[in-house]
Structure 1
Amino acid sequence: MALIYQFGIILVALVVLDTVKSFADLDDDLSPSNRTGRRLGDRLKKPSMNLNNCETQTGHTGSCMTRFTCMRNGGTVSGFCGTYGVCCETNVQCGKTSKLKRTLIQTPTTIPTKCTYVFEPYSPNVCQIKIEMEEFRLQQPQSVTTGANVGDSVECNDRLEINDITLCGNNDGQHLYVPFDVAGGTDANVNLIFNLPSRDPISRWRLIVTQLECPSAASRKGLLPFAKNTGFQDLRNIFSSQNNDLPLLAPRGCSQYFTERTGTFESFNYNGGAGPYMSNLNYAICFQRQVGDSAIEFTFTDFGLPNEGVNNGYDADCHSLIPTTGRSDDYLLIPGAVVTSTLGALQPTYFCGTSSKGTKAIYAAAGPFVIYFNSDEYSSPQDLGFKITFNIA
């Protein structure tokens, strides 16, 4: 009898499973505030989940959803995807607000002196925003002409401001994670502000902004009352967008996060090796560590930071234990790294100078794979940046 009872539970779960998944996927296409008044015809269709990318007819990135959902959210249909979906561009204009899961923002026809995009939470579970810079080109950093650091520092005249990060120059292909603590009540919205006083005609941007959700505390409420204490999860939550976002969520505090096993990353405004990177940057670059991963190998394809010492550009050459005015404090920090050099095996933590170019560093320490970049308020001709290949083993 007990066996028949358990079989009945499993059979019901399997039947409900497909139905719930269909409706969960549909719910992912719209924010909670937009879920009323949908047509029955759209309920019967099963679109791809909102986080599925697609390629538009113009070769750019769009979101795969139903035609009705795309039009309702002010998007533009540009091609087809999935079984029933269309590739949708949800383009938000300067000065407007978006509550969509994924939003496209791009250069307006006329370059303004200021362009602000406001992002309100797609749901109460939003905890991060991922900004993918398909295209990002603003005026290069300029030498400071007023104040105490005249000629000794650079600043972004035309710039993008997101919280405490300021970017300018060429950042095509870069990405950035921004915290958006909706549940904690600390973030009502996130603003992306383009300040463009020069209105330089080279200014171009095309950014994909995705709101990512963390699992809610109520994600294990029972859907099947007769299956209480059997370990079944609420099937509505199994397929919610919160759980779909899990592979994309960056560890807390990471400004950049790479989930690939191998790839290449660059400093902001690497600019083909010409730089310069921006002053006053301090951010963490993280890499997904899976069960069984033992190490990550970094190959310094290109590397150029100021070097205050006479050695190989490690540790004390890069970062002084005693803060000293006017001394460079630009470095890439790789904890527990092992480097093979002409001096033999070294174990530096701070990297600077140019001698690391062409070398490899192995990071096999316990814990997450994370490195840090810091730039001070000063600038020099050596502020070129880095291009590094990584491989996780």
Structure 2
Amino acid sequence: MLKSVETRQNLTVSLILIILAGAVFGEEDAESSRRLPNANGFFGVNNWRNGLFGYPGWFGFSNSTGIGSMPGFPGMTGFPGMPSFSGMPGFLRFHGSANYPNQPLYSECNVLLNTPGTCMPPSECASVSGMPSGFCSKKTLCCAVSLQCGGSSSAKKIVIQGSVSIPSQTPCTYTVNRFSSHVCQLRVDFSTNMPQPTVIPPASVPGTMPYCGTSYLSIGEMRFCGINTNQHIYLPFGQKTISETISVLIGSNNNANWRVIVTQLECPPDTTEEFKQLTHTSPGQILDINKLIHKQHFDTDLIAPNGCLQYFPNRTGVFESFNYNAGAGPYLPGMKYAICFDRPATFSNIQFSAERFNMSRADPSYIDVPMTDAECIDERGDTLVHHNDHFLIPYSTILQTGDSATRYCGDILEGQNLIANPPGPLEVLVNIGTLYYPLNFGPRPQRAFRVSYSIQ
């Protein structure tokens, strides 16, 4: 009974939002029409307001004769000039006139539902099958888009979450379709609680690294399993790319859940011809930059440098290995990737502080040799006794010891502070081989890393 009441309350909130949208919004946003020419409105018709009543669609109301006749909406026959909704979180009071927030178009929002959304025109929210969850401005809604197994969407921000309700060994796929012609990257934020990677041979013998075999989240060409909390990766999304698929596979008798947020990032045009098309400038005319700014929202603050798997645009933050698992790991094998940071104009240095740093070294039998540079890489590649897992941080020095190096491995950075002042991009290059020393074998087991950073 309680669940039924909650469902009806949620339905009430959503329907009220649609009613308000129909009364407040004027003509459909021209930019929305340009982006999504096939937008048909929330109720499958071209006119937002005409689709509000008498349609047996979205909420299942057939032959409704007006707001006052809908059960559960007392006192609303006087619309417009509605009663105060002060008890609803995220709403300002509506007394015939309204005060609206002023969030930018396509910015992130989270108003009524516990799901990240995107500020967009109502017709665009309808076309991507979104759920309105509040107002961003007088002309835009906070629109939340959640995908179920087998679903697809072209929304700018898409939420995917699930638990082990899918049949075992049956892939569950989600398809992300292009939002606009300017999308150049996907930022994929994710958390997983899945079985740990499989280790073959048995954990008492060194050999092949753990791998995500029976249960995993697949993004691009990469698989993730185990415990991942607030991780993210970037995927390139070129002009010729139409869609990207994210899939989940769960083995039999496994408990698992996952949450993924996909954000489609738009890059500014990089050629004069693209500028002309975007600003509708005739040949010989000067490009109208103001028109460009008002016409298109770009994600320049979130776009990662080319080649970066992870990108941190803030001056401070934390990064950790995939399947960090509270420091127990083990991290995932066969990965060579760049962790990048934004370099501000007033840059002085970047400092790292390793809470956890436990990687292998080229020869685990040498315990007393400093675990830097030559001790972190072996030209013979990975063998049963020679590993190549390490960080590469150019122009860096350990503050406690004054030792300068480029590569770091073993546990040399754990509990230490590192400072770097490279002349070019700010990045940490991670190299993880394909072989693994189990947690109970050898002096240098391979587990995990967790590092905080601060840009000065």
**Matching residue within 160, 164, 177 for 2:217:** 160
Report the counterpart of residue 4 of structure 1 in structure 2.
none
Going from structure 1 to structure 2, the CA distance change for 1:341 and 1:23 (only over 3 Å counts) comes to farther
Q: Deviations over 1:17-41 (max 9, x none)?
A: xxxxx99986369843545776487
Deviation at 1:70, TM superposition (A): 2.5
Tell me the residue number matched to 1:300: 354
1:265 Cα deviation after fit: 1.2
What CA distance in whole angstroms lies between the structure 2 residues aligned with 1:253 and 1:358?
29
**Correspondence 1:170 to 2:227:** yes
Q: Does 1:269 align with 2:323?
A: yes
Q: Kindly state the Cα deviation for residue 130 of structure 1 after the two structures are TM-superposed.
A: 0.6
Unaligned runs of 5+ in 2: 1-25, 51-99, 440-444
Partner of 2:450: 387
Q: Does residue 258 of structure 2 align to residue 205 of structure 1?
A: yes
1:178, CA displacement in angstroms?
A: 0.5
User: Does the aligned pair in 2 maintain the 1:106–1:204 contact within 8 Å?
Assistant: yes
How many angstroms apart in 2 are the aligned matches of 1:220 and 1:80?
Answer: 31
Task: Classify 1:29/1:143 alpha carbon distance in 2 versus 1 (closer, same or farther; 3 Å).
Answer: farther
The one of 211, 215, 233 aligned to 2:268: 215
Letter in 2 for 1:154: P
Q: 2:128 touches 2:153 (CA, 8 Å); kept in 1? A: no
Residues 171 and 268, structure 1, Cα contact 8 Å, conserved in 2: yes
CA distance in 1, matches of 2:327, 2:145: 34
When residues 144 and 41 of structure 1 are mapped into structure 2, their CA distance, relative to the original with a 3 A threshold, is: same
Structure 1 pair 36–68 and aligned structure 2 pair: CA distance change class (3 A): closer
Match of 1:333 among 371, 392, 408: 392
Aligned residue identity for 1:356: L
Could you say which residue in structure 2 is the equivalent of 1:320? 378
Partner of residue 130 from structure 2, selected from 75, 81, 87: 75
Distance 1:26 1:283, change over 3 A: farther
Q: Residue 348 of structure 1: which of 379, 385, 405 is its match? A: 405
Write the mapping of 1:25-36 to structure 2, written as runs, cut at 5 A: 27=31, 31-34=35-38
Residue 317 (structure 1) shift: 2.0
Q: Distance in 1 between matches of 2:253 and 2:47?
A: 44
Q: Is residue 2:432 matched to residue 1:375?
A: yes
Shift of 1:357: 1.0
Q: For structure 1, which segment, 150-159 or 296-305, has the greater mean C-alpha deviation from structure 2 after superposition? A: 150-159
| Deviation larger for 113-122 or 50-59 | 50-59
- The secondary structure found in structure 2 opposite 1:252 is coil
> Cα 1:151–1:71, aligned 2, differ >3 Å: closer, same or farther?
same
Which letter maps to 2:307? G
Mapped to 2, the partners of 1:337 and 1:23 lie a distance apart of 57
For the 8 Å contact 1:25–1:47, the answer to whether it is kept is no
1:82, distance to aligned residue in structure 2 (A): 4.0
Q: CA deviation at 1:318?
A: 1.5
Please tell me the residue identity of whatever aligns with 2:324: Y
Distance 1:188 1:88, change over 3 A: closer
Q: Distance in 2 between matches of 1:150 and 1:357?
A: 23
Contact 2:163/2:258 (8 A) holds in 1: no
Which of 342, 357, 360 is the aligned partner of 1:288? 342
| CA drift at 1:367 | 0.9
- In the aligned structure 2, how far is the partner of 1:341 from the partner of 1:33? 61
* 1:57 Cα offset (Å): 3.5
2:250 is aligned with 1:196: yes
Change (3 A) 1:236 1:130: same
Shift of 1:293: 0.8
Structure possessing the higher radius of gyration over alpha carbons: 2
CA distance in 1, matches of 2:251, 2:354: 36
Give 1:137 deviation, angstroms. Answer: 1.8
Change over 3 Å in CA distance of 1:306–1:65 after alignment to 2: same
Q: Is the 8 A contact 2:397 2:405 kept in 1?
A: yes
Residues 106 and 176 (structure 1 numbering): CA distance in 2 closer, same or farther, change over 3 Å?
A: same
Distance 1:80 1:109 in 2: 34
Greater CA deviation, 56-65 or 290-299? 56-65
Does 2:423 match 1:366? yes
Tell me if 1:122 matches 2:179.
yes
Q: Percent identity?
A: 31
Alignment match of 1:60 (pick from 91, 97, 115): 115
Q: Would the alpha carbon gap of residues 244 and 213 (structure 1) be closer, same or farther in structure 2, given more than 3 Å must change?
A: closer
- 1:239 equivalent to 2:239? Answer no
**Alpha-carbon distance, 1:359 to partner:** 1.0
For CA contacts below 8 A with separation 6 or more, give which structure has more relative contact order. Answer: 1
Alignment of 1:172-187 (within 5 A): 172-182=229-239, 185=240, 187=241
Aligned residue for 1:142?
198
Give the residue type in structure 1 aligned to 2:260.
L
1:13 — aligned with what?
none
Deviation by residue 1:258-281 (Cα, 9 ceiling, x = unmatched): 110111111111111111111111
Relative to the length of structure 1, the TM-score reads 0.81
Instruction: Provide closer, same or farther for how the CA distance between residues 312 and 36 of structure 1 changes in structure 2, counting only shifts above 3 A.
Output: same
Structure 1: gaps of 5 or more residues = 1-21
Q: Distance between the aligned counterparts of 1:328 and 1:211, measured in 2? A: 37
Change (3 A) 1:369 1:99: same
CA distance in 2, matches of 1:312, 1:195: 42
